[in-house]
Amino acid sequence: MASLGLIALLGFTSIRSVAAWGAFGHEAVAYIAQDFVSSATATFVQNILSDTSTRYMANVATWADSYRSTTAGKWSAPLHFMDAMDSPPGSCGVNFARDCPAEGCVVSALTNFTNQLMSSSTSAAAKLDAMKFVIHFVGDMHQPLHVENLDVGGNSIAVTYNSASTNLHSVWDSSLIQEYAGGSSLTVARTFATSTTDAIKAGTWSTTSWLSGTDINDPEATGMKWAGEANGYVCTDVIPDGVAAVQGVDLSGDYYDDHIHAPRIQIARAGYRLAAWLNLIATGKTT
């Protein structure tokens, strides 16, 4: 990766290390979703966001990460993750009763804000926030280390990437996918999203299973399915050989080669599913 880009990236991720996908990942998810929503859904979303630009979803994809660090938005900080109390790499899994506390988690947040979007009694201001939260949280629940409790979702596991100090959570938020995409700007996010959309349409992944179990009347079950699948990558790709095997290791070489497939497919799934979810909210159909 070019050194300038790397410096920008590390400066960025160090202050947002617990922010789930970095801005780049969230913007890519939003752009992929824009590619797959129906035209009726696009109008529905644009009306709520008051934005008819070519990046109407990407523009608000990281709002929730800014909001959580304001005094008014502090209450929403726990909604960006779910602390699965499993034991990777031997045993992965999520359990709503165990892992989603009363203060909320990313799955209960999906339920709450989906219901607000579907209710005719929700104010326009509340719908605006709910839309921005749904666009963001569908992304968050696809990041494996946002549905994992171990070592604060990997934040306390020190590693290096291209020789620079960082942590495992940041590597999964940003370093791997930005190296694959070749940058971190909104323009690169658009280019990366377009190639991901093309790959989905070309059948690179078997998407038939991606929407199985998707039930707009049961956001909790749907969210748990998505979160459970993401959490599975903690055992197979994030720390398949345990924490000691990555601690202090530079993850930009063999580790990148072995595991880049995981953030790629997870961002593809998140964008594809976000589109289907918004289609269901707007029109009752997935396409």
Ligand X SMILES: *[C@@H]1O[C@H](CO)[C@@H](O)[C@H](O)[C@H]1NC(C)=O
Closest alpha carbon to 139 in 103, 173, 185, 102? 173
Give the footprint of ligand X on residues 69-108 (CB under 6 A): 104, 108
Pick 61 or 200: Cβ nearer Zn ion: 61
Q: Report what 126 binds from Zn ion, ligand X, none; CB cut-off 5-8 Å by kind.
A: ligand X
The sign one gets for the Cα dihedral 223, 224, 226, 230 is positive
Q: Report what 112 binds from ligand X, Zn ion, none; CB cut-off 5-8 Å by kind.
A: ligand X
Q: How far is CA 139 from the centre of its chain?
A: 2
Q: Which of the residues are catalytic?
A: 21, 26, 65, 68, 80, 136, 140, 146, 169, 173
Residue type, 72: A
Give the footprint of Zn ion on residues 16-55 (CB under 5 A): 20
Pick 18 or 200: Cβ nearer Zn ion: 18
From the list 86, 99, 129, 140, which residue makes contact with Zn ion (rule: CB under 5 A)? Answer: 140
From the list 17, 18, 31, 80, which residue makes contact with Zn ion (rule: CB under 5 A)? Answer: 80
Say which residue the tokens 């707009």 belong to. 216
Q: Report what 20 binds from ligand X, Zn ion, none; CB cut-off 5-8 Å by kind.
A: Zn ion
Taking every pair of C-alpha atoms in the chain, what is the biggest distance, in angstroms? 53
CA–CA distances in Å: residue 206 to residues 102, 141, 229, 236: 36, 20, 15, 19
Closest alpha carbon to 212 in 202, 226, 201? 226
Residue 125 CB, nearest approach to ligand X (Å): 10
Interface residues with ligand X (CB under 6 A) are 104, 108-109, 112, 126
